[in-house]
Structure 1
Amino acid sequence: MMFPFALKLLWEPSRPHRLTPHLGAQTLPWRVLAVAYPFALVTGIALLMVPIQLSFILHGLGLDSPATAGLLSAGNQASVLAGALLFRLLVRFGYVPVFGGGFFAAGAGLLLVSVSKGQGGLLLGGCLNGFGCGLLLVGLITWALAALPSKVRGVGAGGFNSCVFLGEFLSPLVILLLRHGGVSLVSAMAFCGWGLVALILPALLAPLAIRVQAAALPAAD
């Protein structure tokens, strides 16, 4: 449906020179991407964990109302948007609180979901998880792209999005693997929550150890 609009409104920028080897892989800031890409993969896994597993958790609690499931899922997804929008305010204090706070909220949300016995706890846990994931998605890609020269930002962003989408694909498989290992669903959620919490320290250290300065944009023609 959007194809005619894309065909009309999008354009291909002029390319006066062929890409040369110095624009290849050696130009990419791999010290930054080696941190941002695994974090993006984990964020993708955490992002869909609540929406996919929520109905099973509700069924286990005897809360089979479609309206309840819809409300809790909507709260989770709305919180992803809230985290993404609030990134601009929080990043004023640096990437340390963004990364640390993101993994804390995402992990604490899953832990709260795993121990909740009613709608209130599930809603709060889902919202915490969504907020942390939204904060991480925007924070990580902003941090990574700031280190990329303008001519390879498309490559870097493509790799980042591929990691997020791969994480989303792996999200139900991670739970399924834990379930096949004899772990209950709520225990699997708790295990994943603790895994996210364990990433708080690396997330705090990463922006301190790797200082990122935005690459200069080429002058306009």
Structure 2
Amino acid sequence: MSDRALSSPPAAPLDGEVAVDPATGRPAGRPQALVLLLSSCLAVLGAVLLAPVLPRIQDAFAGTPGVETLTPVVLTAPALVIGLTAMIAGRIVDRVGRKRLLVGALVAYAFAGTAPLWLDSLQLIVASRVLVGLTEAAIMTCCTTLLADYFSGATRERYFGLQVVFTTVAATLFFGLGGALGAQDWRTPFWLYAVSLPLAAAAAKYVWQPTPVARTTQLPPLPWRQLAAPVGVSLFGGLVFYVLIVELSFVLDGIGVESTGTIGAVSAIGSLGTAVGAFLFGRVARLGPAVTVPVAFAFSGLGLVGLGLASSVPMVVVFAVVTGFGNGLLLPALLSWALGSLTFEQRGRGTGVWTSAMFIGQFVCPLAVLGLSGAIGGLGTALAVVGALAVVAAVGVRSARPVGAAAH
């Protein structure tokens, strides 16, 4: 992103492409970035850690009315809550300050996340998962906002890409850990939520508020006319991004693959494609959203069309990598587009709006694919349709030639 993309100067002084701590004069660097990148992984922990133990949870509460409906909600509730509340978290970020909310949310995350270790009611466990979603909304909004506060230009784009790399690798690790720990007891994986406590301590030590919290009661309004396009596209982008994660195992099952080892290996290879795309984003971000967003949608879309038509494991692997590569470019490209023209006082709310759009898209994803599958003749056709729509989105964004993250 070029300096011209910022419509007004940042509130914190800059040393090159990094903000400087107003209290100590020290520039932001790897310690701050590492805390924020690792904390960003906690939302992924909530999404994938429990997937392997859902059948065990259902068995444990077999006598609970509506157990078949409530058990999947244990997994999906946090994502829905993030989608519904991240905008509120964004307003709190701009109002009370980034650091205070981040540290508090990390501490609360540990208590809400580990609560099912002691709860004997499925309804109470679902309620605790709603609280986890609230803390995740605050954590994700704070982390992304602080990355945008601390860094600018190419440095910011590189860290946005690394945020996707970290969360993608974390998803792969957490999925395996959830299965291994859940083999002993379905409650055991919940202990991992306590990892947020050392992160809270690290945030308290290394993270600093970029500028003093504004004491005025009136925040500057968001530029909704500028945000409408990137947020609307990000809503669809969230759906596209999640298709590979949700549906890959069903694609493999549909062509006769029954081995969980094979399914896991193909999923890991697809995740590797996502990590590569996100890692490379920093090198292509200078081209601007008019290029990066269409290219990302094009790769994801063509990959999904291929997955819908694939009839063998090698074909699935190839198109999973293509889709994953596009997904790795997609999130940081959309985020850079959305935040590129926002000022410091607007950035928390803008990040919250964008995060809400992404997570609502992710939550809707399996429902949309299921509806398409039933309406037009199977999963393969549904994936091809979603892929074709992604390609259409690529053409539409390119034709609109958005500005706001970089000039090219």
Structure 1 length as normaliser, TM-score? 0.86
Task: Give the direction of change, closer, same or farther, for the CA distance of 1:18–1:136 in structure 2 (3 Å limit).
Answer: same
Q: Residue type of the partner of 2:273?
A: S
Deviations, residues 118-144 of structure 1 (Å, cap 9, x unaligned): 111111111111111221100111122
Deviations, residues 61-94 of structure 1 (Å, cap 9, x unaligned): 1111212211111122222221111111112333
Which residue is 1:219 aligned to?
A: none
% identity of equivalent residues: 31
Cα distance in 1 for residues equivalent to 2:293 and 2:348:
23
Which residue is 2:176 aligned to?
A: none
Structure 1 residue 8: Cα displacement = 5.6
Structure 1 residue 171: Cα displacement = 0.8
Task: Give the direction of change, closer, same or farther, for the CA distance of 1:75–1:211 in structure 2 (3 Å limit).
Answer: same
Which residue is 1:89 aligned to?
A: 283
Which residue is 2:404 aligned to?
A: 212
SS in 1 for 2:256: coil
Matched, 1:185 2:340: no
After TM superposition, the structure 1 = structure 2 runs for residues 46-125 of structure 1, keeping only pairs within 5 Å, are 46-125=240-319
Which residue is 1:18 aligned to?
A: 215
SS in 2 for 1:140: helix
Task: Give the direction of change, closer, same or farther, for the CA distance of 1:17–1:118 in structure 2 (3 Å limit).
Answer: closer
Structure 1 residue 184: Cα displacement = 0.7
Structure 1 residue 182: Cα displacement = 4.7
Relative contact order higher in (CA < 8 Å, ≥ 6 apart): 1
Cα distance in 2 for residues equivalent to 1:63 and 1:211:
45
Larger Rg over CA atoms: 2
Task: Give the direction of change, closer, same or farther, for the CA distance of 1:83–1:36 in structure 2 (3 Å limit).
Answer: same
After TM superposition, the structure 1 = structure 2 runs for residues 148-163 of structure 1, keeping only pairs within 5 Å, are 148-163=342-357
Task: Give the direction of change, closer, same or farther, for the CA distance of 1:106–1:8 in structure 2 (3 Å limit).
Answer: closer
SS in 1 for 2:296: helix
Match of 1:141 among 326, 335, 348: 335
Cα distance in 2 for residues equivalent to 1:94 and 1:12:
29
Q: Residue type of the partner of 1:212?
A: G
After TM superposition, the structure 1 = structure 2 runs for residues 165-180 of structure 1, keeping only pairs within 5 Å, are 165-180=359-374
Give the RMSD, CA atoms, in angstroms: 2.0
- The runs of 5 or more residues in structure 1 that have no matched partner are 215-221
Cα distance in 1 for residues equivalent to 2:354 and 2:266:
28
Contact 2:339 2:405 in 1 (8 A): no
Structure 1 residue 212: Cα displacement = 2.1
Contact 2:300 2:387 in 1 (8 A): yes
SS in 2 for 1:181: helix
Task: Give the direction of change, closer, same or farther, for the CA distance of 1:213–1:172 in structure 2 (3 Å limit).
Answer: closer
SS in 1 for 2:258: coil
Q: Residue type of the partner of 2:216?
A: L
Structure 1 residue 20: Cα displacement = 4.0
Contact 2:289 2:333 in 1 (8 A): yes
Cα distance in 2 for residues equivalent to 1:173 and 1:33:
26
- The runs of 5 or more residues in structure 2 that have no matched partner are 1-193
Cα distance in 2 for residues equivalent to 1:16 and 1:95:
31
Cα distance in 2 for residues equivalent to 1:47 and 1:16:
35
Task: Give the direction of change, closer, same or farther, for the CA distance of 1:9–1:95 in structure 2 (3 Å limit).
Answer: closer
* Alignment length (residue pairs): 209
Structure 1 residue 16: Cα displacement = 5.7
Which residue is 1:45 aligned to?
A: 239
Cα distance in 1 for residues equivalent to 2:246 and 2:375:
19
Task: Give the direction of change, closer, same or farther, for the CA distance of 1:173–1:94 in structure 2 (3 Å limit).
Answer: same
